[in-house]
A and B are shown apart, each in its own frame.
Chain A
Amino acid sequence: ETGVTQSPTHLIKTRGQQVTLRCSSQSGHNTVSWYQQALGQGPQFIFQYYREEENGRGNFPPRFSGLQFPNYSSELNVNALELDDSALYLCASSLGEGEKLFFGSGTQLSVL
């Protein structure tokens, strides 16, 4: 059984660019959540996808968007990158909404 995998592990972008982060869920999990962890802070909820539909969103602007695919893998897209978007982006999968989350190792995004 494979765990949650994220790619890439590190990424450097410049302000104004767009970025796509990818996540493969743990086997059998149909729910994916994305979190942003800024330096020195705890993870903050971005949104959750359940059966390919966004079913919850945190306090993030619309330039943060996502997709979930039929195999339950997921993408996080961020447009018009800002310096404050520099953070560790964590993907987590679960067996259903509200169930225990299993996290990937994250993608460290640096915006210059």
Chain B
Amino acid sequence: DQQVKQNSPSLSVQEGRISILNCDYTNSMFDYFLWYKKYPAEGPTFLISISSIKDKNEDGRFTVFLNKSAKHLSLHIVPSQPGDSAVYFCAARNDYKLSFGAGTTVTVRA
């Protein structure tokens, strides 16, 4: 069963604008949420995370928002840069394992 869902397979955004990526989950036992970024032929790299007891975490251009009542999180990237073009995975942790969404491919247009 798919416990973490990213319903938008792709997103195209103009350079300098905001990118908003969304993620929904079903398991209330998740205690930590993470975003990973993946370039072709490379493994996923950690981007930003948030504990389930928080509702916002910010790191430079990246901000993650968590809405526990809606079981929804989002990643905001502002301003978007060409190097941000990649696949972004939402992941949620329960105990020792991560459950991943299917990913959203972000393309930043010049």
Contacts and interface: CB of A to CB of B under 8 A. Distances in A.
Interface string A33-70: 10100001111110010000001101000000000000
Contact of B102 (A40, A58, A105, A106): A40
Contacts of B98: 33, 35, 43, 45, 101
Contacts of B97: 33, 45, 48, 56, 58
Contact of B42 (A58, A92, A105): A105
Contact of B96 (A35, A42, A55, A104): A55
Interface string A17-36: 00000000000000001010
Residue of B42, B43, B103 ringed by the most chain A CB atoms within 10 A: B43
Interface string B53-88: 000000000000000000000000000000000000
Contacts, number: 55
Contacts of B41: 105
Nearest to B97: A45
B44 A103 contact: yes
Contact of A106 (B4, B43, B46): B43
A24 B91 CA distance: 23
B46 A42 contact: no
Nearest to B87: A42
21 contacts: A35-B98, A35-B100, A41-B102, A42-B6, A42-B91, A42-B100, A43-B44, A45-B97, A45-B99, A55-B96, A56-B96, A56-B97, A97-B96, A98-B96, A100-B34, A101-B98, A103-B36, A103-B43, A103-B44, A104-B43, A105-B42
